[in-house]
Structure 1
Amino acid sequence: MTFPIQRMTLAVLATLSISACAHEHGAHDHEHGAAAATEGTQRATEAVANLQPTVGSPTQGTIRFVHEGDQIRIQGEVAGLEPNSDHGFHVHEKGDCSAPDATSAGGHFHLPGQKHGDPARDDDHHHAGDLGNIHAGADGVAKVDLVLPQKQLTLGDGPQNILGRGLIVHKGKDDLHSQPTGDAGGRAACAVIKAVR
């Protein structure tokens, strides 16, 4: 009679042990998932976009995005442009520059209901990703220095987050009104916006 009781005791202990391990494993997974979600929504103070040329284009450069108070400062240089020319400059939906012409970056980054427009107007009548035009000097280099409010772009917060999205320099000038892209032509260079710190 002692054998069945010992077997039953062992079976109960084994069940409790397995249950405790499963609970511990499940708690670990939950904590890991919460940590991953927190990491994915952390705010950056600085991001960089290393622009690479599309097929047949000499355009390249480096653009930095720096969080300053309630604004984002965008600075850098873009080289390999036509001398004395203007070029559309936009944040695009996807951080994917794999297509030879960078169409893999998708369209302009925008929030629901936004249309393409002039970011210099302080009336929210433009895509979140509309950055206007950059101007290349006689040497074919555009020096970029823009300041935008966080209500347009952020580095990790809310729906305006641009981390992981694409940055595009277009081959032509953005007319700031044609829908949906400002008639800025093809894509000369593409980058993925990545957090630095």
Structure 2
Amino acid sequence: MRLKHVRLFLAVTFLVLLSLVACNVDNNEQHRDDGRGKNEETDETTATINEAAKEVLVSLKNQSQQIVATATLTENKDGVQIKLKGEKLPPGKHGFHIHETGSCEAPDFSSAGGHYNPNHAKHGKKVSGGPHAGDLPNIEVNQDGTVQTEVIANLVTLEQGESHSLFKKGGTALVIHAKEDDYKSQPAGDAGERIACGVIE
């Protein structure tokens, strides 16, 4: 009888231990699954935030401090894409540049400084040693005063702390000029006075 009792006791003990081990394995698997889910969710959230942080909206005001254009800046493989949409601007071609200081004090916007030029280059794509990092293609305003265009600034970045970042110390600005840039005259393409300005922030 004692031998049967011992065998029964051992069998029951073995089954209990086996059950405990199985439960522990299931719990570990559950924890691992939960961990992977949270990590994946966090990664997706971070990616969304990073993507959103790469888009910057700039409002450009005229000398009367009226908003006449908006620019959307987006980082891509070619540099910074600038989508410009404006109204109530003088028809014709106008110089369009990134300037070296994030300040737009009316009426002349001279507070924006010169063209953004971290490489100390010459102005214009038509001259040896050019262009400035802030030199952009001319924009053309329609007869009704509107403009909608896209340009690429391939010598700058939106990444903070990087060389040629538009978010350098002191900031930068977008400026529209009264005349077109001839891409060669020093130091600013003979583009005339500044008629609209917006701080990149």
TM-score w.r.t. structure 2 length? 0.66
Distance in structure 1 (CA, Å) of the matches to 2:61 and 2:72: 14
Instruction: Say which SS state the counterpart of residue 131 (structure 1) adopts.
Output: coil
Q: Please identify runs of 4+ aligned residues in structure 1 that moved more than 3 A.
A: none
- The answer on 1:117 being equivalent to 2:124 is yes
- The answer on 1:145 being equivalent to 2:154 is no
Distance in structure 2 (CA, Å) of the matches to 1:145 and 1:124: 25
Q: Which amino acid aligns with 2:63?
A: T
Q: What per-residue deviation string (whole Å, max 9, x for no partner) do you get for residues 38-70 of structure 1?
A: xxxx99411121001114x87711001111234
Q: What per-residue deviation string (whole Å, max 9, x for no partner) do you get for residues 69-103 of structure 1?
A: 343211021222222x0000000010111242100
- Corresponding residue for 1:81? 89
Instruction: Say which SS state the counterpart of residue 75 (structure 1) adopts.
Output: strand
Instruction: Say which SS state the counterpart of residue 105 (structure 2) adopts.
Output: coil
Tell me the CA shift for residue 156 of structure 1: 2.5
Report the structure number with the largest CA radius of gyration.
2
Q: Which amino acid aligns with 2:185?
A: S
Match 1:174 to one of 162, 181, 184:
181
Distance in structure 2 (CA, Å) of the matches to 1:66 and 1:88: 21
- The answer on 1:100 being equivalent to 2:103 is no
Distance in structure 2 (CA, Å) of the matches to 1:73 and 1:124: 23
Preserved contact between residue 59 and residue 80 of structure 1 (Cα < 8 Å): no
Q: What per-residue deviation string (whole Å, max 9, x for no partner) do you get for residues 84-134 of structure 1?
A: x00000000101112421001001010233111039x9x972000001210
Preserved contact between residue 62 and residue 195 of structure 2 (Cα < 8 Å): yes
Greater helix proportion:
2
Mark the CA change 1:59 to 1:188 in structure 2 (over 3 Å): closer, same or farther: farther
Preserved contact between residue 118 and residue 132 of structure 1 (Cα < 8 Å): no
- Corresponding residue for 2:69? 61
Tell me the CA shift for residue 154 of structure 1: 0.3
- Corresponding residue for 2:12? none
Preserved contact between residue 58 and residue 81 of structure 1 (Cα < 8 Å): no
Give the aligned length.
147
Q: Which amino acid aligns with 1:48?
A: L
Mark the CA change 1:143 to 1:118 in structure 2 (over 3 Å): closer, same or farther: farther
Tell me the CA shift for residue 182 of structure 1: 0.3
Instruction: Say which SS state the counterpart of residue 80 (structure 1) adopts.
Output: coil
- Corresponding residue for 1:50? 59
Unmatched 5+ residue regions in structure 1? 1-41
Distance in structure 2 (CA, Å) of the matches to 1:59 and 1:182: 25
Instruction: Say which SS state the counterpart of residue 130 (structure 1) adopts.
Output: coil
TM-score w.r.t. structure 1 length? 0.67
Tell me the CA shift for residue 147 of structure 1: 2.6
Distance in structure 2 (CA, Å) of the matches to 1:185 and 1:192: 20
**RMSD (Å), alpha carbons:** 2.5
% identity of equivalent residues:
37
Mark the CA change 1:145 to 1:179 in structure 2 (over 3 Å): closer, same or farther: same
